[in-house]
Amino acid sequence: MSTVIKTSTWIILILFLVNTLPSVQSQGDLYPWDIEIDFENDDSSNPFDISEDGKATITFFISNDGPLSIDLEFEYEGPFQGTYSGPLDATVNANSNESFNLEVSKIDVIDFAAKTQEDFLITAKVVSLQGTPQLNPSSKDAEGKLIIPIVYILGLEISDPVGPMNAGTATPLRVSVTNEGNIEDRVGEVDISDNCPLLTPNNGLDSLLTKNLNPGQSVQADLELTASESHPKRTCKVEVSIASNGAMNTGSSSSLFSKEVQITVDPTLSNVDNSISPVDDTTTTTEVVGSSLPSIGVISIISCVLSALIFTRRNHTQ
pLDDT at 177 over 70: yes
Domain that holds residue 115: 2-147
Please tell me whether residue 271 adopts helix, strand or coil conformation: helix
Is the same domain home to 13 and 143? yes
Closest CA to 103 of 89, 85, 79: 85
Domain edge (last residue) among 147, 163, 188: 147
pLDDT at 1 over 50: no
Residue 293 lies inside a defined structural domain of this protein: no
What number is the average pLDDT over the span 89-113? 97
Is the same domain home to 188 and 230? yes
Note the pLDDT of residue 96. 97
The answer to which of 1-5, 140-144, 154-158 has the lowest mean pLDDT is 1-5
Is the same domain home to 30 and 130? yes
Q: State the total domains in the chain.
A: 2
Is the same domain home to 8 and 83? yes
pLDDT at 15 over 50: yes
What number is the average pLDDT over the span 286-291? 33
Cβ atoms of residues 136 and 22 within 8 Å: yes
Work out whether the CA dihedral 129, 132, 134, 137 comes out positive or negative.
Answer: positive
Is the same domain home to 126 and 19? yes
Residue 304 lies inside a defined structural domain of this protein: no
Angle at 24 between CA 22 and CA 26, to 5 degrees: 65
Is the same domain home to 174 and 135? no
Cβ atoms of residues 47 and 39 within 8 Å: no
Q: Domain holding 264: CATH number? A: 2.60.40.10
Report the C-alpha gap between 222 and 206 in whole angstroms: 10
Is the same domain home to 12 and 136? yes
Report the C-alpha gap between 194 and 297 in whole angstroms: 83
Please tell me whether residue 61 adopts helix, strand or coil conformation: strand
Domain edge (last residue) among 147, 168, 200: 147
Domain edge (last residue) among 110, 130, 147: 147
Quickly count: other Cβ atoms within 10 Å of residue 77's Cβ: 12
Cβ atoms of residues 152 and 185 within 8 Å: yes
Residue 79 lies inside a defined structural domain of this protein: yes
In whole angstroms, what separates CA 70 from the centre of its chain?
Answer: 48
What number is the average pLDDT over the span 64-93? 97
Q: Name, in order, each residue with C-beta under 8 angstroms of 116's C-beta and a sequence gap of 6 or more.
A: 147, 148
Is the same domain home to 51 and 29? yes
In which band, very low, low, confident or very high, does the pLDDT at 188 lie, cut at 50, 70 and 90? Answer: very high
Report the C-alpha gap between 55 and 38 in whole angstroms: 17
Q: How many CA atoms lie within 13 A of 25 on its CB side?
A: 20
Residue 131 lies inside a defined structural domain of this protein: yes
Is the same domain home to 7 and 143? yes
DSSP string, 85-150: E--SEEEE-TTEEEEEEEEEE---GGGS-TT-EEEEEEEEEEEEETTEEEEEEEEEEEEEEEEPPP
Note the pLDDT of residue 29. 47
Is the same domain home to 134 and 259? no
Is the same domain home to 71 and 173? no
Residue 104 lies inside a defined structural domain of this protein: yes
Closest CA to 76 of 168, 6, 147, 142: 142
Is the same domain home to 27 and 143? yes
Residue 299 lies inside a defined structural domain of this protein: no
Residue 279 lies inside a defined structural domain of this protein: no
Work out whether the CA dihedral 239, 242, 247, 250 comes out positive or negative.
Answer: positive
Note the pLDDT of residue 7. 54
In which band, very low, low, confident or very high, does the pLDDT at 269 lie, cut at 50, 70 and 90? Answer: confident
Report the C-alpha gap between 66 and 137 in whole angstroms: 16
